[in-house]
Amino acid sequence: MWQVVGQDRAVSILQRGLERGSLAHAYLLVGPPHVGKMTLALNLAQALNCESSGTPCGECQPCLKIASGNHADVQIIGLTQREEAAEAKLISIDQVREMQHSASLPPFEGKCKVFIIEDAELLSIEAANCLLKTLEEPTDNMVFLLLTTNEKFLPETVVSRCQRLELSPLPPSPMEEALQKRWEIEPLRAKLLSRLSRGCLGWAVAAHCDDRILQERAEKLERLYEVIRADTEERFHHAAQLAAQFAQDRAAVQEILDLWLGWWRDLLLVKVGCPDYVANTDQLKVLNDAAGQYTVKQIRDCLGSIRAAGRELRQNANARLVLEVLMLDMPGGKAITSGDSIVGVKVTNG
């Protein structure tokens, strides 16, 4: 059975193609991180090599080998497959050439060769042009699956050779249900994970399996509460720390700002009487206590300031200056603190 959750349209298209023998030779799977692109790609690889008539069965030898990453005819190409992945910035032409050599050979142990290119937007120009030659001359018993979060970074010539399948974020309710039934997660935790995941089931499952993800979130929220409580001098100290962190890891600071943005958005929802739509469900007590300290205009202005800071950082503005302005724009609060525990994860306020 298909393991991907909530992507019925994409599954239906692939299922019909399998039944009619009319699958495209290349698919472009588009969607945000952790939405299910790799799960769907591996499911299709299983379906193409499954020994059962009700493909993919998930239980035969080919299905099990593909699920464990040990099938000779299913290859994943991407930065994580390189020994020097820590230094790698792009998928190289050498990786694509290795794939082409493999593609020139018949299937070794299965019915069909499947090549999955993860983070296809990271193909170098040379690698993309090299891949284009292969896509222009498709052969039988071979399917290419390009996975991307942003197709705009792929050459139009490559995109035009693929059938596009978009995977959309899941609404909270069906995700909650899936987390409870398939992963046996207790309701409160399932609700929190589904709201925090922004519709990306893979993130929710990863956060359930690795408590460090929620623990790091708790630490980032506590940092926000420290900023809210801090005086100007302390806020400038926080700005300097974030600027130094930004110099080392830009994505990490953007994640912090996104989390702060989500908290202030939730505060606005509580303020206007819509607590049922809050994402940070484990922070409801804090949000309720804080709502009385701010006007709607203050909250909206703060949301605007955080968005502006994120935008300016992406445009390579002076990080310290941007973050200092944000610290000055953020309204203060009386002893706002998390105090509680994240569902299933103990939180301390150091």
For residues 200 and 203, what is the distance between their CA atoms, to the nearest angstrom?
6
pLDDT at 337: 74
Q: Which of 187, 209, 231 marks a domain boundary? A: 209
Question: How do residues 283-339 score in pLDDT, each as one tens digit?
Answer: 999 999 999 999 999 999 999 999 999 999 999 999 999 999 999 999 998 768 775
Q: Which of 209, 235, 262 marks a domain boundary? A: 209
Mean pLDDT of 172-190: 95
Q: Where are the alpha helices (DSSP H) in the chain?
A: 8-20, 37-49, 61-67, 93-103, 125-136, 156-159, 172-181, 187-196, 201-209, 211-229, 232-248, 250-271, 284-291, 296-314, 319-329
User: Does residue 85 surpass a pLDDT of 70?
Assistant: no
Mean pLDDT of 87-98: 86
User: Does residue 270 surpass a pLDDT of 50?
Assistant: yes
Question: How do residues 235-245 score in pLDDT, each as one tens digit?
Answer: 999 999 999 99
User: Does residue 11 surpass a pLDDT of 80?
Assistant: yes
User: Does residue 253 surpass a pLDDT of 50?
Assistant: yes
What string of DSSP letters covers 202-267?
HHHHHHHH-HHHHHHHHHHHHHHHHHHH--HHHHHHHHHHHHHHHHH-HHHHHHHHHHHHHHHHHH
For residues 176 and 186, what is the distance between their CA atoms, to the nearest angstrom?
10
Judgement on whether residues 193 and 291 belong to the same structural domain of the protein: no
The answer to whether 99 and 113 are in contact (CB under 8 A) is no
Judgement on whether residues 105 and 120 belong to the same structural domain of the protein: yes
Mean pLDDT of 162-184: 96
User: Does residue 83 surpass a pLDDT of 80?
Assistant: no
pLDDT at 347: 40
36, part of any domain: yes
Judgement on whether residues 115 and 68 belong to the same structural domain of the protein: yes
Judgement on whether residues 141 and 184 belong to the same structural domain of the protein: no
Least confidently predicted of 36-40, 77-81, 165-169, 302-306: 77-81
Judgement on whether residues 286 and 336 belong to the same structural domain of the protein: yes
Q: For residue 83, give the 3-state DSSP assignment.
A: coil
- Domain extent at residue 196: 173-209
Judgement on whether residues 202 and 220 belong to the same structural domain of the protein: no
Judgement on whether residues 65 and 155 belong to the same structural domain of the protein: yes
Q: Number of folded domains in the chain?
A: 3
pLDDT at 88: 56
1, part of any domain: no
Judgement on whether residues 143 and 249 belong to the same structural domain of the protein: no
Residue with tokens 């970074």: 153
Centre a 10 Å sphere on the Cβ of residue 103 and count the other Cβ atoms it contains.
15
Q: Which residue type sits at 145?
A: L
Contacts for 211 with CB less than 8 Å, ≥ 6 apart = 344, 345
Mean pLDDT of 16-40: 95
The answer to whether 135 and 26 are in contact (CB under 8 A) is yes
Judgement on whether residues 152 and 272 belong to the same structural domain of the protein: no
Judgement on whether residues 156 and 13 belong to the same structural domain of the protein: yes
pLDDT at 53: 77
pLDDT at 349: 40
The percent of residues above 70 in pLDDT, for the chain, comes to: 93
CATH of the domain at 269: 1.20.272
pLDDT at 350: 36
Residue 150 falls in which region: left (phi positive, over 0), alpha (psi -120 to 50) or beta? beta
Judgement on whether residues 86 and 41 belong to the same structural domain of the protein: yes
Judgement on whether residues 143 and 17 belong to the same structural domain of the protein: yes
Mean pLDDT of 104-132: 95
Residue with tokens 């792929």: 154
pLDDT at 348: 40
The answer to whether 282 and 192 are in contact (CB under 8 A) is yes
- Read off the pTM: 0.86
For residues 266 and 259, what is the distance between their CA atoms, to the nearest angstrom?
11
